Amino acid sequence: MPYCTAVMLHLTLSYKSVLELFSGITKNYIGVRMKKLVIIVLFISFNSFAQITVTQQDLESNYTNTVVTEHSSQDLITASVNLGSASASPQVFDFTNLFSLAPMDTTYALHQNVNGQPGSSSFPFATRLSQQDYDYIQFEMHVYVYYNITEDGMCIEGMVTNQIVPGVMDTLYIQEINPYFLTYPVPLTLGTIRTHIDTMMQVNGVDYAIEEHSWECDGFGELKLDGGNTYQALRVIRTELQRDYEGGVLTEMETDKEIQFWTKEGILVSFDVDTTYNDGSTIPLSADISYPDGTTNVENEEELLPETMVLEQNYPNPFNPETNIRYYLPETAHVSLTVYNVTGELIAELVNREVSSGYHTAQFNSEGLSSGVYFYKLDAGGKTLINKMLLLK
């Protein structure tokens, strides 16, 4: 459910410096008119630059052969956040405290060509997919989302969930969407209004949901994120009305609303809000941020992957109470992923089974443990990697 190069706007003359420049002729009528002209030119330059347009080419660049990282809030947020307003003037969207709003879950999706992945025959027109891998103690799960990038935007045709219990089951669950789920409509710029309707078949192949989506781009400005990074962004109000049907009978109807912030670099920050929200500060129901780790021009996705086993730093770190541990296997192997305290005592066994090649993520819950340093160890293919993490309660 990331990274990018910021597009920075540099104004060589501030408002104050412009006034100082013309201070010697402030009594001169022509000088006063020139001051106003320069200030107006500077404002127009800033205003036009900030009104970016996210295009099909941007999507293709950001989601071709790359890994997308998504951080999602785990718990209800208790702090108020200013989400901007509908405005034709530039704003500042300051989310530098995003990761302090609530604990975050982290997931990774590898965007690649279809190349005969599980269930691909159900989506013959899809040319791309995103793959997410999850590791649990007794089983593993892989989610494949099949899509295209067209002049309409990112169009998802369906998804496949592959659940594997070693020696017991290896099952594919397929969900089809008609005609497609439009997730990123393009082109998108200030004033854009888009709508889309799709039907999603449920896993049982009988029940379904009809979804009505709308996007309204009503603002723009500077997006500030953790680490001092800034980007030019669009403010988008996204609403969704979903009707669930069982046996052809309407059983449930639900409306969701998000305030989203888009950049040309592929960063998407979104907040679930109450359906009555329009502008200003509010306490969001949840928060998410996703971004591509980087793009490449290589055609063979295997060249993107490491050649050796990798054990990444857990995230978040420090953490409380849960954290995610991501690792990579160059080939299928029996994996042991364990956690120890500083005295070497075994605290938890997260994975102990055969795992397929690729990226995998395991979650560690520290309930019942005291604050301090802990170690997590990955054993696979005759190799061992160890990292440390910090629990703060």
Which carries the bigger pLDDT value, residue 48 or residue 177? 177
| Residue 26: predicted pLDDT | 37
Lowest mean pLDDT segment, chosen from 103-112, 119-128, 132-141, 327-336 = 132-141
Half-sphere exposure of 162 (CA within 13 A, CB side): 16
Reduced to 3 states, what is the DSSP secondary structure of residue 154?
A: strand
Lowest mean pLDDT among 17-26, 233-242, 291-300, 322-331: 17-26
Cα 371 to its chain centre, rounded Å, is 30
Q: Tell me which residue of 216, 126, 335 sits closest to 326, measured CA to CA.
A: 335
Between the two ends of the chain, the Cα-to-Cα distance in Å is 27
Q: 54 in helix, strand or coil?
A: strand
**In the prediction, which pLDDT does 50 show?**
57
d(CA 263, CA 237) in angstroms, rounded, equals 15
CATH for 305-391 is 2.60.40.1930
Q: Tokens representing 187?
A: 């082109």
Does pLDDT of 25 surpass 70? no
Q: Give the model's confidence band at 309: pLDDT under 50 very low, under 70 low, under 90 confident, else very high.
A: very high
Pairwise CA distance, residues 156 & 149, whole Å: 9
Say how far apart CA 85 and CA 279 lie, in whole Å.
Answer: 5
> Residue 58: pLDDT above 60?
yes
Angle, CA of 91, 268 and 115, to the nearest 5°: 155
The residues facing 269 across adjacent strands are 261, 289
Of all residues in the chain, what percent carry a pLDDT higher than 90?
56
Q: What's the pLDDT tens digit per position in 325-349?
A: 989 899 999 999 999 999 999 999 9
Check pLDDT > 50 for residue 24.
no
Structure confidence at residue 7 (pLDDT): 27
User: What element of type H or E holds 84?
Assistant: none
- Give the residue-averaged pLDDT of 291-311: 59
DSSP β-ladder status, 81-82 and 66-73? unpaired
Q: What is the mean pLDDT of the chain?
A: 83
Residue 294: pLDDT band by 50, 70, 90 thresholds? low
Model confidence band, residue 305 (pLDDT cutoffs 50, 70, 90): low
352-390 residue pLDDT tens: 998 888 888 888 999 999 999 999 999 999 999 999 998
- Tell me if 295 sits within 8 A of 62, measured CB to CB: yes
Average pLDDT over residues 26-41: 41
DSSP 256-291: EEEEEEE-TTS-EEEEEE-TT--SSEE--SEEEEEE
Place of tokens 């020696």: 167
pLDDT attached to residue 137? 66
Q: Where are the domains of the chain?
A: 15-50, 56-292, 305-391
User: Coil, strand, or helix at residue 384?
Assistant: strand
Higher pLDDT, 296 or 73: 73
Does residue 43 have a pLDDT over 50?
Answer: no
**Using an 8 Å Cβ cutoff, are 80 and 95 in contact?**
no
Can you say whether residue 158 is alpha, beta or left, with left for phi > 0 and alpha for psi between -120 and 50 degrees? left
Q: How confident is the model over 201-211, as a mean pLDDT?
A: 89
Q: What is the pLDDT of residue 190?
A: 96
295 pLDDT above the threshold of 60: no
Tokens 């005969």, residue? Answer: 116
5 or 162, higher pLDDT: 162
Of the listed ranges 194-198, 272-276, 280-284, 298-302, the one predicted with least confidence? 298-302
Cα 328 to Cα 351: distance, rounded to the nearest angstrom: 13
pLDDT at 17 over 50: no
Cβ pair 114, 129 in contact under 8 A: yes
User: Is the confidence at residue 11, as pLDDT, over 60?
Assistant: no
Q: Around 391, how many Cα atoms within 13 Å sit in the side-chain half-sphere?
A: 23
pTM score = 0.67
